[in-house]
């Protein structure tokens, strides 16, 4: 039974991943420091289903702290999802983002080196592409990040390249594109839109609604992560995990309205610094290397989120 470390395991993507790993008979250790970016209650809800599973161990700790990492038992693979999240908050506190996302990643790579762990999967972000009209974006595009968050993700990729070359750690950087679904963070648009509409509150809309995103259902992202566990054809790769489909903000709002059966009140705001106008993934590399084929359309994914939100509203308010 292979043993996997998932950093950020109490978070949105981490908890969805852990559920699938345990279903596939992996042993999982998760570490999370319950960062106060959003409520501890939601994170505890995320990992509650695994607490009695004998193949699951949870460590409340910080990836920047060597003493916390020393609590981790022998493992075979690292899936590194832990990070300070969010483009806009990173502009307000760039030094903290640098510390957690870059120094934390390097500390974890040092841990992998010392433990001779040879498979390291890193959660990168589509934000590294910045403003680039040459869509859909492939992994060879020139990168022009426009937020501290994006720059930290690019730094993490490059650190992985260094450790791959120097120490033989296979490093796979998976660039996520606007992941959504059950367990999604409350600061993200889909979660905010459902909550506001259902509570008869206006939703914040930045710009004229023409910005677009490549929304990717969390179950599809998890499939890509799991496929990366067995990848062994090269020692360093950067791979997009998107949906190869772009949806405007106005179209997203209409879809959310349709799923919850209520019209949104719009609070129109100015565009925000650090936000890119469009994201759109070329996923041909993921198809070729990981046999990655996203299969969840936006409407079905929104229904899954809505069911989760309704079930857990008392905790999420």
Could you tell me if residue 256 is inside a domain?
no
Domain containing 31 equals: 3-183+216-244+281-295
In a domain, 252, yes or no: no
Evaluate whether 115 touches 75 at the Cβ level (below 8 Å). Answer: yes
Q: Look at residue 91 and tell me if it is in a domain.
A: yes
4 SS3 class: strand
Consecutive sets of 10 residues in the chain, 317 residues long: mean pLDDT of each?
97 98 97 94 96 98 97 97 95 97 98 98 97 93 94 98 98 98 94 94 90 96 98 98 96 96 91 85 98 97 97 84
Q: Residue 276: what pLDDT?
A: 84
pLDDT of residue 153: 98
Q: How many separate domains does the chain show? A: 1
Task: With respect to residue 249, please indicate whether it lies within any of the assigned structural domains.
Answer: no
Q: What stretches of the chain show up as alpha helix (H) in DSSP?
A: 12-23, 40-47, 66-69, 87-92, 94-97, 104-115, 148-167, 189-198, 218-229, 249-260, 284-290, 298-311, 313-316
100 domain residue, yes or no: yes
Tokens 């929304």 belong to which residue?
215
Residue 150: the pLDDT is: 96
CB atoms within 10 A of CB 116: 9
Active site residue 149: yes
State residue 298's pLDDT score: 97
**From 97, 129, 149, 306, active-site residue:** 149
- Is 291 domain-assigned? yes
Radius of gyration of the chain (CA): 19
Cα dist from 224 to 27, 89, 119, 237, 243, whole Å = 19, 27, 15, 13, 11
Is 157 contained in some domain?
Answer: yes
Q: Which of 289, 141, 296 is nearest to 222 (CA)?
A: 296
The reported pLDDT for the residue numbered 271 is 81
pTM of the model: 0.96
- Return the CATH number at 220: 3.40.50.720
Instruction: Please indicate, yes or no, if residue 117 is contained in any of the structural domains.
Output: yes
What are residue 244's phi and psi, to 5 degrees?
55, 45
């Amino acid at each position: 039974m292979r043993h996997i470390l998932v950093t950020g395991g109490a978070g949105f993507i981490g908890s969805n991943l852990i559920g699938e790993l345990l279903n596939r008979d992996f042993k999982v250790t998760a570490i999370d420091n319950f960062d106060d970016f959003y409520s501890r209650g939601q994170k505890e809800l995320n990992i509650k289903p695994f607490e009695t599973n004998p193949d699951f161990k949870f460590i409340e700790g910080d990836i920047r702290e060597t003493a916390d990492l020393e609590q981790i038992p022998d493992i075979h693979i690292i899936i590194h999802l832990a990070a300070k999240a969010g483009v806009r908050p990173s502009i307000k506190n760039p030094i903290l983002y640098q510390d957690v996302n870059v120094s934390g990643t390097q500390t974890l790579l040092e841990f992998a080196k010392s433990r001779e762990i040879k498979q390291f999967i890193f959660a990168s972000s589509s934000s590294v592409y910045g403003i680039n009209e040459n869509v859909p974006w492939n992994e060879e595009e020139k990168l022009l990040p426009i937020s501290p968050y994006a720059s930290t993700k690019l730094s993490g990729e490059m650190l992985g390249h260094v450790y791959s070359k120097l120490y033989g750690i296979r490093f796979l950087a998976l660039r996520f594109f606007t992941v959504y679904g059950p367990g999604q963070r409350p600061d993200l648009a889909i979660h905010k839109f459902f909550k506001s509409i259902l509570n008869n509150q206006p939703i914040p809309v930045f710009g004229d609604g023409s910005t677009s995103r490549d929304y990717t259902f969390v179950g599809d992202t998890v499939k890509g992560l799991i496929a990366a566990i067995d990848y062994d054809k090269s020692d360093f790769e950067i791979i997009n995990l998107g949906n190869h489909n772009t949806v405007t903000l106005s179209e997203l709002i209409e879809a959310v309205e349709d799923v919850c059966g209520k019209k949104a009140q719009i609070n129109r705001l100015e565009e925000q610094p650090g936000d890119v106008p469009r994201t759109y993934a070329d996923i041909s590399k993921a198809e070729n290397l990981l046999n990655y084929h996203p299969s969840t359309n936006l409407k079905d994914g929104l229904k899954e989120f809505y069911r989760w939100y309704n079930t857990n509203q008392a905790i999420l308010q």
